[in-house]
Amino acid sequence: MLHPFLVPQQVQPTTPTFPRLGGKYGVQLDVEDARRLYDAQLLSANRLRRLTDYLALAMIYLKDNYHLDRPLARGDIKERLLGHWGTCPGLNLIYAHMNLLIKRHRLDSFIVVGPGHGGPAILANLWAERSLGAVYEQYGTDRDGFGRLVKAFSWPGGFPSHANPQLPGCIHEGGELGYALAVAFGAVLDNPDLIVPVVVGDGEAETGPTATAWHLYKYLDPKESGAVLPILHRNGWKISSPSIMGAMSEEELFSLFSGYGYEVRFCGEHEDLDADLTASLEWAHTRIKKIQQAARSGNPMTRPKWPIIILSTPKGMGAPDEVKGVKIAGTYRAHQVPLRQPCEDEDEFIALELWFLSYKIHELLDESGAPASTLSLAIPPRELCMGFNKHTRSGVRDLAMPNSYAQEVPSERQGGQSASIAEVCGKFFAEIVKLNPSAFRVFSPDELESNRMQALLSVTGRDFQWNEATANRGGRVMEMLSEHCCQGWMQGYTLTGRWAAFPSYETFLGIITTMMIQYAKFLKVALETPWRQPVPGALYVESSTLWRQEHNGYSHQDPMFISNLLNMKHELVHVYLPPDANSVLACLEQCFTSKNAVNLIVCTKAPMPSYLTLDEARVHVKSGFSIVPWLSTDDGRDPDIVLCGCGNETSVEVAEAAKLLRRDSPHLRVRVINIVDVTMLDLARAQQRGIVDKFHEVFTPDKPVIINWHGYPSAMRQLLFSRANETNRDILILGYREEGTTTTPFKMLSLNHVDRFIVAWEAIRLSGIKAPELSAFYQSLLCAHDEYILANGKDPEWLNDVPRFKAHAVPQAAAVPREQEEKASNIA
C-alpha cells in the first residue's frame, strides 16, 4: 500500500459538455485491463518510482546519511538547497512506465525532457538502470555510488539541475525552455524504428517555440522516420503562478489538440495512476504502429492522427501536504525546494525527515545498495535502457562527397566570370542529397527558393505530409516558417549522428540566437565529457545578406548573428565569408567534415566575381586569410598599406579601391588580403587548432591596415584587440554602422562608409599622403551618385568605369550627370 504522500492528489477535471463516444472523449481507458495484464510490472514500476523519488529528493537536500541509516541530523543537510522538486515525481512516473513499454515491445527509445530543472529525476533513473555508472565509475549502482551521486548534485564539480550532455541518453540541454518537441522530431527523422517520448511541462507549453512545434508531426513521413510521443505534463503551476494549460478544462484541451490533428488521451484521473499511464502508453504505441504499418505497406493514411497523452498530476506529488497550515503539495510552493529552511525551522525539519522516511528506502535496495530484485521488472536489459540508446551515442556518419563541381575562373583573375555563391551552395546541397539519401537534410524557414538554392529541389522535394503533392515522397527539404523549429530539427538530427544545413536570411537567423547559444553550450560540455562521441558539425548559411537587402529596407539589415557566434568558445566556431564560388565549395567541404562544430557561411545570392580555382580556394580556406597577388602592387611585396576585404560586397569594394589607387596614386604600394575564416584572426583560436599563426607574415608587422568588414566593426575589434595593441600601428576597421534604408546596393555601402572611394581615401590618409584634391574628387563622385539614384532609382553604369582623376580636370563620363561633372571639375 502506498504511503499517503505517494497517493496522487488528482487535478479536478471540469465536467465536459460534449458527448462521450466509446469511452471518455472517444478513447477506451481500459485501466482494468492494464491492471489485470500487468499487475506485477505495475507493482515493480511503483517501487522504482519510489526509489527514484527518494533519490531525487536526497539530491536536493542531503550531503550525508544518504540512506537515513540513522535519524536525520541538521548536519546531513546541504547548506545551499538547489534543484527543483515539482517536476521530478511526474518525470519518474513517466520514465518508469516507458521502461515497462520498452521491455514489453523491445522498443528502440530514449526520452527528451522539456521541464528545465528535472535533472534529479533523470539522474535517479540513469543510476537505477546502471547507465550512469557505466560512464562514471564513481556513480556505480551500489551503496557508495548512490551516496556520491546524492552529494554531487548541484555541488561544485558535480551535476547541474537540468538534463545536460554529461548525462547518458541526453541530446537536449534543459537550460532553456521551449525546444524539446522540435529536438525530438529532429531525432526521429530517418530513424524508422525509433520512438521518442518527449515530456512537455505545462510551463514550457506557454513558450512560442513549443506552440509552433506541436505541428511538426505534419512533416513526419511514417514510412521513413520514427515517431514522437508528446506527453503534456499538467501539474498546474510554474514557479509562482498558474499555468495556462493547467487552468484549461479537459474539453478545451481536447478541442485544441484535436484541432491540431492529434488523437488525444487524458491520463491521471483514475485512482490507480500506474495502471492508467501504462494503459495510455500501450494505446499510444498501438496507434503509432498502426500509422507506420499502413505507410510501410504502401497504403499510407491521409493526415494520420498521431497520439498525444495529457498527463495530470499534482505539483510536487509526494511532498508534505502542508506545514504549519501552509499547503505545499499541489501548489507552486512545491516547484523548487518545498521546505526551504529545515535547519532553522523545527516544523520543516520534522516534515522533511517524515518525507524521507515515507519512501522506506531500505525496502527498495539490496544489501549492496543496488535496486532490489522487486524493481527488476521495471528496468529494461542494458541494450534497451534509454540511457544506453544507440542513437544518443552514435557518433558521426561520414558523408559521401561530390568530386566534380569546380567553377571556371578567368585567367586574368579580375572577375570576368561571375556566379551566385548561394546558387553554387544549392547545387552542392543537391549533390550531397544524391550521394547521401538518408543522412542529410536541409531545414529552412520557407526561404530556399528566395535564397536561390532551388537547385536542391531538382533532386528532392519538400517533406510535408499534409499536402498531397509532397506527402509520402521522401523529400529531404524541411521548410517551415519557424526558425525555432528549424533549429530544433537540426539539433535533434545532428546530435543523433546525421548532417544538416540551415539556410536563412541573414537578419532572421538572429531569431534563434539563444537556441544556437544553448546548442553551442551543449557541444562545449560534450567536448569536455570523455565518453561522448563526436557529432557532425551544424551548418548555418546566411544568404540575402544586409548589403543586398536594400529593397526590403532597414528592418532586414542586421549581421548580429555573426557577432553572437564570435562570442562562442574558440574551438567550436567557424565563421566563413567566402569571396567567390569556388571558395564556398571549399568552405562546404570543411563544414561537412567538421565535428562538434557550429559553422556559419555568409554568402550573397547576387552574382559575384570569380577569383580562385578550387585548389587555390581550398588552400585559402585552410589558411583563413591570404594575400591576393593580382590585386596587389608587385604581388604584394613591400607594401605601404594593407587593404583587407572580408565579405562579398565589402571584398569587391576593396578590389575596386585597389584599382583606384593603382590608377590615381600609382606610387602607393598596396597589398590586398582576403579573409575567409574570420575566427582564424584570433590568436587563441589558431593556437587551439594547432595552426601556425601567420598574421604578421600576411598583414605585415608594422604597416597600417584597413579591414573592410561585412558585419559590425565591434565584432572584428574584439578579434583583433590584442593585435592592435601589440604594435603601435593603425588597424582601421570599416563595417556596418547601423545605417540603412530602402535604397540602391551601392548606396548601402556608402551609407556605412565601406564603399571603394572611402576605402581608397582612407588608404591615402593612413599612408601620410597629402592629397586634398583627390579626396574632393572622390567625394564629388559620391555626391553625383546620390543625385543620380534619386533621379533614376538605380546605381549608375559609370560605377563600373569610374571617371579618371587628374590634377586639374575631370574627364567626360557619359553616365555622370553634366552638373556633377562640372561640380567635380571645380572641386579638383
Mean pLDDT of the 778-791 span? 94
Confidence at residue 36, expressed as pLDDT on a 0 to 100 scale: 86
Mean pLDDT of the 686-705 span? 81
Confidence at residue 684, expressed as pLDDT on a 0 to 100 scale: 73
Confidence at residue 363, expressed as pLDDT on a 0 to 100 scale: 96
Mean pLDDT of the 340-368 span? 96
C-alpha cell at 490: 537540426
Residue 813 has pLDDT above 60, yes or no: no
C-alpha cell at 182: 522540435
Confidence at residue 97, expressed as pLDDT on a 0 to 100 scale: 97
Distance in angstroms (rounded) separating the CA atoms of residues 271 and 287: 25
* Cβ 412 vs Cβ 551: under 8 Å: no
DSSP secondary structure string for all residues of 484-513: HHHHHHHHHHHTTT-EEEEEEEHHHHGGGH
How large is the greatest C-alpha to C-alpha distance in the chain, in angstroms? 104
Residue 23 has pLDDT above 50, yes or no: no
Distance of CA 593 to the CA centre of its chain: 19
pLDDT single digits (tens) 707-726: 999 999 999 998 887 666 66
Confidence at residue 740, expressed as pLDDT on a 0 to 100 scale: 87
Confidence at residue 29, expressed as pLDDT on a 0 to 100 scale: 54
Q: Starting at the earlier edge strand, list the strands of the sheet with 670-675.
A: 625-627, 670-675, 641-646, 705-709, 731-734
Structural domains in the chain, CATH included, are 4-8+28-393 (3.40.50.970), 418-623 (3.40.50.970)
* Cβ 281 vs Cβ 97: under 8 Å: yes
State the pairing for strand pair 418-420/607-609. Answer: antiparallel
Looking at 284-293, 307-316, 675-684, which range is the least confident one? 675-684
Distance in angstroms (rounded) separating the CA atoms of residues 275 and 83: 29
pLDDT cut 90: percent of the chain above it: 76
Distance in angstroms (rounded) separating the CA atoms of residues 223 and 190: 9
Higher pLDDT, 683 or 742: 742
Residue 828 has pLDDT above 50, yes or no: no
pLDDT single digits (tens) 268-311: 978 899 999 999 999 999 999 999 999 999 999 999 999 999 99
Q: What DSSP character marks residue 541?
A: E
Confidence at residue 486, expressed as pLDDT on a 0 to 100 scale: 97
Distance in angstroms (rounded) separating the CA atoms of residues 527 and 72: 39
Q: What DSSP character marks residue 462?
A: B
* Cβ 544 vs Cβ 505: under 8 Å: yes
Distance in angstroms (rounded) separating the CA atoms of residues 729 and 357: 71
Mean pLDDT of the 552-559 span? 86
Cite the DSSP H helix spans in 403-482.
Answer: 421-435
pLDDT single digits (tens) 85-121: 999 999 999 999 999 999 999 999 999 999 878 899 9
Q: Residue 425's closest CA among 400, 394, 448?
A: 448
pLDDT cut 70: percent of the chain above it: 91
Q: Give the predicted TM-score (pTM) of the model.
A: 0.91
Confidence at residue 690, expressed as pLDDT on a 0 to 100 scale: 59
Mean pLDDT of the 369-388 span? 96
Q: Residue 308's closest CA among 188, 198, 221?
A: 198
Confidence at residue 568, expressed as pLDDT on a 0 to 100 scale: 82
pLDDT single digits (tens) 209-251: 999 999 999 999 999 999 999 999 999 998 889 999 999 999 9
Find the distance separating the first CA and the last CA of the chain, reported in whole Å: 99
* Cβ 607 vs Cβ 633: under 8 Å: no
Partners of 446 in the β-ladder? none
Residue 728's pLDDT band, with cuts at 50, 70 and 90, is low
* Cβ 59 vs Cβ 310: under 8 Å: no
* Cβ 486 vs Cβ 445: under 8 Å: yes
pLDDT single digits (tens) 426-468: 999 999 999 999 999 999 998 888 889 999 999 999 999 999 9
* Cβ 639 vs Cβ 703: under 8 Å: yes
Confidence at residue 2, expressed as pLDDT on a 0 to 100 scale: 41
Mean pLDDT of the 500-528 span? 93
Higher pLDDT, 812 or 203: 203
Confidence at residue 523, expressed as pLDDT on a 0 to 100 scale: 93
Residue 17 has pLDDT above 60, yes or no: no
Residue 313 has pLDDT above 70, yes or no: yes
Spell out the residues 6+ positions from residue 246 whose beta carbon is closer than 8 angstroms to its own: 11, 202, 234, 235, 236, 237
* Cβ 611 vs Cβ 413: under 8 Å: yes
pLDDT single digits (tens) 29-59: 588 888 888 999 999 999 999 999 999 999 9
Cα–Cα separations (whole angstroms), residue 377 to 50, 197, 381 = 14, 20, 10
* Cβ 52 vs Cβ 141: under 8 Å: no
Three-state helix/strand/coil letters over 12-36: CCCCCCCCCCCCHHHCCCCHHHHHH
C-alpha cell at 707: 579591414
Mean pLDDT of the chain: 89
* Cβ 186 vs Cβ 192: under 8 Å: no
Q: What DSSP character marks residue 192?
A: T
